[in-house]
Structure 1
């Protein structure tokens, strides 16, 4: 890694980026010099839709509102205060949303210590447990930009039925819902029919750039966050975005672009422990879905801590993030990263959005579309209509049924070794867990274990959450990924009210649709189906540890 202190830090509005000049200098040609010569800082700050080329211009023209949405969002503050007061007796806030509709409010509430339950799964066990938690005190924030997200619609239906089953009238049930959506979406009409509160979001901001719109602010405010502070922090940074110096967002974006175009196209995102919690999960979607297309992209790798494996590598740019540091403090949280980004959360949001859009220009991609996300959605719809494909396991070992490609070994250790050994010098391994994020939380241990075994970047995603995030990169980015998909039959399924399928069937269809999209690209995929979750997960972790012990 570079010496973080070779170049000066770049600061504005309390946000500081260390190491950017050094990263830029390691590229064959300076990305920063190129973007400044093209006038991109001022053009981007001025919402120039031509930056990403003629094919992207129409989309960019209606997707640059994030640059100043924090100012328009101030108009929401009185409405949010009234809503908080009106719903004061409902102190259990559940957010039903996917991708950009859930990731930012989760970061906000984790960082500021406010309770928020995020429901972004189709696992019937997790949905059932959430429905059973403090129902009488629950307000459900239903967030969907399009208004047609199948997971969020299913959650809305399940909660509506749960309130009615608890003895509430339809009018009483409606009071337990707050809908956030774009003007004119189907969900706006649904909210009116339900008698729910609804707040319309900024239509000129895409989902993954929506942290400081109603999508990020409504659930956070209901959970007790003083969201005006986030808007103040972003507003203070905004004045620097057009400048060629003293512009940390420019420094970050140019460094990301320089690294990605010179062999370091994987970005390890590591919290340095100074108070910003979970930002990596939000930035993961922002970077992967914005840049992973046309065979190029930046792969974000969320690493648990500075001491966890997988934070470094020849093709990895190591980036730590955190809150403001005292004078003289060493950034990085115990490691020396290539980049360190520190400052207030509202400034982080705006800076990373700007940096991602700028990196898209360096890479030559449209950062506002997601051309491959719909593929898995279409596969899911077709499979729901026709039924999930059946198959015979390649082998069964303990509580694990394995479905492996032809030529893979016929035992668990051998199949895992085959998958790991096939990564190559530029590959990555993605663990795709269609499980219960709460009850099966130990599945996430597989990421650092496999990173140790492979010595390569390893990502971990909960399905179907990652379909709205890294799923775009998996299909549209460089085709160097290998995939470990983990599924399980639920012990007790749960109906989706008003639909001809259950949550378990939806989850299985999503997993099958994603498999189809990945294997259709010729990518290696090993599916491990747990016939008993706790036992199967323990068995799988032991098997991966065994691979490491034999190295």
Structure 2
């Protein structure tokens, strides 16, 4: 079988109680048949335009020979390095597909100037870039396209031979790219970004990088029938019930890779679940953790653990006392099962799993700051080169770095979580991610870690639309060297600063405690930050 799941404890109870109702309500066949009424009247309009992912395997088959032919053409032209400029659903699926296939893809999902400069400096003469944007107006991907166009021209390379575009038909990017002579792949407009793993968004960059995308579609196809049948063994129904129907609801979902051959799957699932369910004051918060994460041994009543393994066992249900969900399977099957399960979870939670009403608020705030470009607010104080800012409830009682972090933690409710948001070059400073475990150990609560601005297209929806129980630690940096964006009145450094400030302001408007720490010399300041936390 291409997918296996076993459940125990509270998850098993949820499955036993809920799945028969889902079967009787014909939910699985309804999703497959694109029944937009499954999520209630308020969601019907959006759902009617967002269920194309259920047909993605068949719709995407004709893309495979096109992508393989382009790859051969690029290789014949000396292109051996593929870069992906994309955010959220446009980058997370190709990242997990290529990492699992062990082929190289440079994922440029940032506006941090150092990270963009490093990508531009990496084998430009042998590189092609895939620019992926569903709407065709994403500011990050527009900026990445502009800077690569300029770099190719400066190197005497025709951008039309090196830029490939993936976007919805008729988008602004579709029209401008065709006018410029770029190769364009149109994606299915009836598929939302986070459900687009098996569409052109997932397949074009992965296939050009060398992954076997026909195999991914084959793997997904093996599970399609099981997902379409209204049966108690339907893995989409079982997984959806296990993550969204526990009583009381375990609304923090720790996802841990524990022996799976799939690399980075939890990061993809994080966006799918958080952006789909985190709204109207409810939702499931995915927490991506390692096997030794403090949360896993803390006995948290609101934490459900999902282990990604390579053999979940033959049983659909088991009755151990560990209270975990174990899933295994091929990558293609996993992608499709989790999409179904998330749609099922949306029905169980009573929300629309296909919209993202709070993502736009941070974008609007960032655009406002870019238009006005006010002087940055002065720091409340500076500690060892780290500028400290924050909401009044955090900063008002702080005098140094340690006390600022202490006060932020004092704002953490008993059922809360800590969100670390690092608007920092993740290629140059991967060690920052180690903060997650340190903070989880100290807080005794779940801690999420997101690289900015990419998390804005992912967990950013949950932060504003989900339960108001988060506290937020923003880490920003003063770039050593900035980078201009061609034909734009702002730089990459100004863009990422506006994105961080815009999101902080929206979080503050929603009453969320925010502490912003700006590293003026990241190489020196990171050690100071670890000392303050630990």
Query: What's the TM-score once normalised by structure 1's chain length?
Result: 0.92
Match of 2:483 among 494, 502, 511: 494
In the alignment, what sits opposite 1:153? 142
Per-residue CA deviations over 1:189-218 (Å, capped at 9, x if unaligned) read 121122211111111111000000000001
- Please give the alpha-carbon distance, in whole angstroms, between the structure 1 residues aligned to 2:473 and 2:341: 31
Cα shift at 1:257: 1.4
In the alignment, what sits opposite 1:81? 68
| 1:411-450 superposed matches below 5 A | 411-450=400-439
- Please give the alpha-carbon distance, in whole angstroms, between the structure 1 residues aligned to 2:347 and 2:103: 36
Match of 1:91 among 80, 89, 92: 80
- Please give the alpha-carbon distance, in whole angstroms, between the structure 1 residues aligned to 2:310 and 2:177: 38
In the alignment, what sits opposite 1:409? 398
- In the alignment, does 2:365 pair up with 1:379? yes
SS of the residue corresponding to residue 61 of structure 2 reads helix
In the alignment, what sits opposite 1:232? 218
In the alignment, what sits opposite 2:293? 308
Per-residue CA deviations over 1:377-413 (Å, capped at 9, x if unaligned) read 1111110010145222222110211113333221111
In the alignment, what sits opposite 2:202? 216
In the alignment, what sits opposite 1:101? 90
Match of 2:11 among 18, 23, 26: 23
| 1:264-283 superposed matches below 5 A | 264-283=250-269
Per-residue CA deviations over 1:283-312 (Å, capped at 9, x if unaligned) read 000000000001100000010x21122235
Match of 1:249 among 236, 247, 251: 236
Closer, same or farther: CA 230–57 of 1 in aligned 2, 3 Å: same
| 1:527-538 superposed matches below 5 A | 527-538=516-527
| 1:339-418 superposed matches below 5 A | 339-406=325-392, 407-418=396-407
Closer, same or farther: CA 513–404 of 1 in aligned 2, 3 Å: closer
- Please give the alpha-carbon distance, in whole angstroms, between the structure 2 residues aligned to 1:296 and 1:371: 13
Question: Is this contact kept in 2: 1:20–1:252, CA < 8 A?
Answer: no
Cα shift at 1:34: 3.0
Question: Is this contact kept in 2: 1:143–1:181, CA < 8 A?
Answer: yes
Question: Is this contact kept in 2: 1:123–1:507, CA < 8 A?
Answer: yes
Per-residue CA deviations over 1:98-117 (Å, capped at 9, x if unaligned) read 00000000000111111110
Per-residue CA deviations over 1:228-268 (Å, capped at 9, x if unaligned) read 11111111101011232221121000111113x62310000
SS of the residue corresponding to residue 294 of structure 1 reads coil
Match of 2:129 among 133, 137, 140: 140
SS of the residue corresponding to residue 347 of structure 1 reads helix
Of stretches 250-259 and 366-375 in structure 1, the one that deviates more from structure 2 is: 250-259
SS of the residue corresponding to residue 102 of structure 1 reads helix
SS of the residue corresponding to residue 62 of structure 2 reads helix
In the alignment, what sits opposite 1:511? 500
In the alignment, what sits opposite 2:471? 482
Cα shift at 1:20: 5.9
SS of the residue corresponding to residue 68 of structure 1 reads helix
- Please give the alpha-carbon distance, in whole angstroms, between the structure 2 residues aligned to 1:295 and 1:431: 20
Of stretches 496-505 and 40-49 in structure 1, the one that deviates more from structure 2 is: 40-49
- In the alignment, does 2:171 pair up with 1:185? yes
- In the alignment, does 2:278 pair up with 1:292? yes
Gaps of 5+ in 1: 1-12, 546-551
SS of the residue corresponding to residue 276 of structure 1 reads coil
Match of 1:338 among 321, 324, 336: 324
Cα shift at 1:25: 1.1
SS of the residue corresponding to residue 371 of structure 1 reads coil
Question: Is this contact kept in 2: 1:212–1:231, CA < 8 A?
Answer: yes
Question: Is this contact kept in 1: 2:87–2:454, CA < 8 A?
Answer: yes
Question: Is this contact kept in 2: 1:274–1:325, CA < 8 A?
Answer: no
Question: Is this contact kept in 1: 2:57–2:221, CA < 8 A?
Answer: yes
Match of 1:453 among 425, 430, 442: 442
Question: Is this contact kept in 2: 1:109–1:115, CA < 8 A?
Answer: yes
Question: Is this contact kept in 1: 2:390–2:515, CA < 8 A?
Answer: yes
Of stretches 419-428 and 308-317 in structure 1, the one that deviates more from structure 2 is: 308-317
Closer, same or farther: CA 26–221 of 1 in aligned 2, 3 Å: closer
SS of the residue corresponding to residue 510 of structure 2 reads coil
- In the alignment, does 2:510 pair up with 1:521? yes
Cα shift at 1:26: 5.7
- In the alignment, does 2:45 pair up with 1:58? yes
- Please give the alpha-carbon distance, in whole angstroms, between the structure 1 residues aligned to 2:21 and 2:478: 52
- Please give the alpha-carbon distance, in whole angstroms, between the structure 1 residues aligned to 2:249 and 2:133: 36
In the alignment, what sits opposite 2:55? 68
Cα shift at 1:36: 2.4
| 1:110-121 superposed matches below 5 A | 110-121=99-110
Match of 2:159 among 170, 173, 193: 173
- Please give the alpha-carbon distance, in whole angstroms, between the structure 2 residues aligned to 1:21 and 1:273: 22
- Please give the alpha-carbon distance, in whole angstroms, between the structure 2 residues aligned to 1:323 and 1:69: 25
Cα shift at 1:33: 3.2
Question: Is this contact kept in 2: 1:15–1:324, CA < 8 A?
Answer: no
Question: Is this contact kept in 2: 1:131–1:162, CA < 8 A?
Answer: yes
Query: What's the TM-score once normalised by structure 2's chain length?
Result: 0.95
